[in-house]
Structure formats: structure tokens, C-alpha cells
């Protein structure tokens, strides 16, 4: 719950599970990309209701990356459509990997106080299946626990650390798709 308004901070895990099924079930790669880009935008905004919007969360960058991928998927900005299918596959793989983790983080934030969130994150099975993303969400929890002073550099540093860790994890996943999308296998 949002402490100021008493309203839910986000739409809920069930709504996001349904949305992910819709994305993964969409056969048209152009439409699917639009759904993914919109999902990044919405989840970024929902995450910002928790973490604030002074410092961007990784999903904001995910939206930009998905929008950029969409240009290749639609055949814009490239002389030929080399690898558009692999870019589309990578776009789905990345959101399918990271969105459930952000949804789980929001779910945990609703389940306990800001002070309890770090312990909930550390013991969560979904967030703990990868050390890098576990550290990322621990950083987001740390940012939240810092007095929520919008000018506090420690909060900004924790957000940056979380963002960089998620970016590292997702780039590791994306690399295979990018290599496959490039002529000559990305040599």
C-alpha cells in the first residue's frame, strides 16, 4: 500500500501474469513488441510508485531498449531485415525473465514494511535464483529503506547499483540473441 494514499501501489501479480501470457501468446512480432514496450512503461511507473521517480528504475531503460528493438523488428533503420526474428525473440525472453522478478519485488514490498523488505528479498526463491538479480533487488530495497529523502545520494547510488546489476544480467541473456541477429553471427 502507498503510505500517503492508502491505495495499492500497483495492479497486482495476477494482472501481470495475465499480461505476460498475452505477450508470450501474441504471434505477430510487431504487435508483441508494442505490448512489451507498453508493459515496460507500465511496470516502470508502478515500480516508481514504490521507489520514487527521481532516479529511474531499470524498466525505464527496458522500455527504451524495447522501443529500439521494435524499429529493427519492423524493418526500420536497417537496409535489410537481418535478424529481426532473433531481436523479437530476445525482446520476449528478456521481459519474460525480468518482469516476474519486478512483480515479485512489488509483491514483497506490499507484504511487509520498508524495513522488512530487505529480509524478504534475501529469502525469496524467485529473486534468489540468480545472484546478480538478487543483489539488484537488494539494492532497490536498500534505496527504499534510505529515509526516502529525494536528495540523498546514497539512495541514488543504491538505485544505480540495482539498475546496473539488472542491466548486466539482461545483457548476458540478450547477447546470444544479438549475436544470432547479426550477419556472420556477430563476428
Lowest-pLDDT range, 15-24, 43-52, 178-187? 178-187
What average pLDDT does this structure show over 147-159? Answer: 79
pTM (2 d.p.):
0.86
Q: Is the pLDDT of residue 114 over 70?
A: yes
Lowest-pLDDT range, 53-67, 100-114, 139-153? 139-153
Can you tell me the distance from the alpha carbon of 50 to that of 107, in angstroms, rounded to the nearest whole number? Answer: 11
pLDDT number for residue 78: 65
Residues 6+ apart with CB under 8 A from 120: 108, 111, 112
Can you tell me the distance from the alpha carbon of 56 to that of 86, in angstroms, rounded to the nearest whole number? Answer: 28
Phi, psi of 160 (to 5 degrees): -60, -45
Can you tell me the distance from the alpha carbon of 127 to that of 103, in angstroms, rounded to the nearest whole number? Answer: 10
Amino acid at each position: 500500500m502507498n503510505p500517503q494514499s492508502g491505495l495499492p501501489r500497483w495492479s497486482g501479480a495476477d494482472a501481470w501474469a495475465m499480461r505476460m501470457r498475452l505477450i508470450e501468446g501474441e504471434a505477430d512480432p510487431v504487435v508483441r513488441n508494442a505490448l512489451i514496450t507498453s508493459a515496460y512503461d507500465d511496470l516502470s511507473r508502478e515500480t516508481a510508485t514504490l521507489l520514487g521517480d527521481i532516479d529511474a528504475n531499470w524498466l525505464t531503460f527496458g522500455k527504451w531498449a524495447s522501443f529500439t528493438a521494435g524499429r529493427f523488428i519492423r524493418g526500420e533503420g536497417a537496409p535489410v531485415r537481418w535478424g529481426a526474428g532473433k531481436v523479437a525473440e530476445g525482446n520476449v525472453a528478456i521481459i519474460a525473465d525480468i518482469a516476474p522478478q519486478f512483480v515479485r519485488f512489488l509483491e514483497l514490498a506490499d507484504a511487509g514494511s520498508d524495513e522488512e523488505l530487505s529480509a524478504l528479498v534475501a529469502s525469496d526463491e524467485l529473486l534468489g535464483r540468480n545472484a546478480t538479480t538478487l543483489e539488484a533487488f537488494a539494492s532497490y530495497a536498500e534505496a527504499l529503506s534510505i529515509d526516502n529523502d529525494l536528495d540523498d545520494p546514497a539512495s541514488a547510488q543504491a538505485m544505480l547499483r540495482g539498475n546496473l546489476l539488472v542491466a548486466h544480467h539482461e545483457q548476458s541473456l540478450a547477447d546470444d540473441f544479438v549475436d544470432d541477429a547479426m550477419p556472420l553471427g556477430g563476428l
